[in-house]
Structure 1
Amino acid sequence: MSAPQHPTETASTAEATSGAVLSPVPDDVDTAPTELPDADPDSADAVVEPVDATGGADGAGGTDALLVTEGDVAGDYLERLLDILDVDGDIDLDVEGDRASVAIVGAELQDLVGSDGSVLEALQELTRLAVAQSTGVRSRLMLDISGFRAKRRADLTSLAGEAARRVAASGQPERLAAMNPFERKVVHDVVAGITGVHSESDGEEPNRRVVVLPDR
């Protein structure tokens, strides 16, 4: 299987492209701003393990080398999985920011995405575990299949921008639909770039969601 170097990432649930804004925040909700954009410190996606001596220095060079290694391990793991499932797909590897990015590209991969990306999320966790077992370092690798996360990122970027502009104009908070850590991070990043508003996460998994609030 080929492994061209293309950036990829992202995902989609029907929830955010339709009625993602559920209700205004009640008066008794604590609206104190949290530090952005990392608003989910307890999620696996928010945890970065230091690179140990076997992976290189803690500087950028050692980190980049570790992320490349993560991608290679993930690619090998996913290639074996595709062979077992007798599914055709190409694997693209990249490094995006502070995480490795792996994408499976092909025409008949919907079963590997699942309803609202549920199978994709499970495969991502299995791939991270395989990488961690090989490297000894917790992985924040991002897996995409058939561009599902890429479309989700685009949908969420539009959704978050519209919600933030409404909140800035009305002064009224808005609570978005429940999202996974990756999706919340996309929304937090978008809101952080819009003047007059900020965002925080509220609730417990799997019902944790982003609340967009006006600056006071």
Structure 2
Amino acid sequence: MENQKEIIIKIMEEILAKMTLAGDIEVIDEVDGARFVVKTRSANALIGNNGQNLSSFSHIIKKIAEVKLRKSGVLEPLQFSVDVNDYQLKKTDELKSLAKMNAQRVRYFKKEVVLPHMNSYERRIVHTALAEYPDINTESVGEGEERKIIIRPI
């Protein structure tokens, strides 16, 4: 697993160098894999508007890592996420807070709440955060980029 982390770090360093961006990479072990955090002063360039650049940056790193790890004979690739200056971590915490606050509204008023449209990653965070609530149901509705979550009382 350490070898996989080294390969992923090298990929990230190469991409940052090609983008002429400086940054340190920190690896944080988590229950379901690892989180690779770029610490940089150029965070805006890497994160972009609403995290769009970060999403693309992460996607590219994961695809390159998938190919390189497969070529090096890795049978079980490391599950990992990519973050910049803890942007994703903060965003995840905000989404969980939003979900739980709205779950409390649903419980109190006994009426459904429709959350704003979210990407699949964000919707998964909300569904997971509210899965432990036995009296609440969540459902994704809509198409494409307009998909939203409805939180309903049971």
Q: Which runs of 5+ in 2 are unaligned?
A: 71-75
Aligned residues: 149
Is the alpha carbon distance of 1:92 and 1:71 closer, same or farther for their aligned partners in structure 2, counting shifts above 3 Å?
same
TM superposition score normalised by structure 2: 0.85
1:71 matched residue in structure 2: 5
Q: CA deviation at 1:211?
A: 1.6
In structure 1, C-alpha distance between the alignment counterparts of 2:119 and 2:5, rounded to whole Å: 22
Alignment of 1:22-41 (within 5 A): none
2:26 matched residue in structure 1: 92
In structure 1, C-alpha distance between the alignment counterparts of 2:90 and 2:58, rounded to whole Å: 17
In structure 2, C-alpha distance between the alignment counterparts of 1:180 and 1:138, rounded to whole Å: 25
Q: Secondary structure at the match of 1:210?
A: strand
CA distances 1:166-198 after superposition (whole Å, capped 9, x unpaired): 111222111211212221122112212334112
CA RMSD across the alignment? 2.0
Q: Is structure 2 residue 110 aligned with structure 1 residue 110?
A: no
Is the alpha carbon distance of 1:139 and 1:169 closer, same or farther for their aligned partners in structure 2, counting shifts above 3 Å?
same
Is the alpha carbon distance of 1:205 and 1:74 closer, same or farther for their aligned partners in structure 2, counting shifts above 3 Å?
farther
Q: Secondary structure at the match of 2:116?
A: strand
2:138 matched residue in structure 1: 199
CA distances 1:92-126 after superposition (whole Å, capped 9, x unpaired): 11332223321101222211100000000001110
In structure 1, C-alpha distance between the alignment counterparts of 2:78 and 2:97, rounded to whole Å: 28
Picking from 60, 72, 76, the partner of 1:126 is 60
Asked if the contact 1:173/1:212 (under 8 Å) is kept, the reply is: yes
State the AA in 2 paired with 1:78. Answer: M
- Structure number with the bigger relative contact order (C-alpha 8 A, sep ≥ 6) is 1
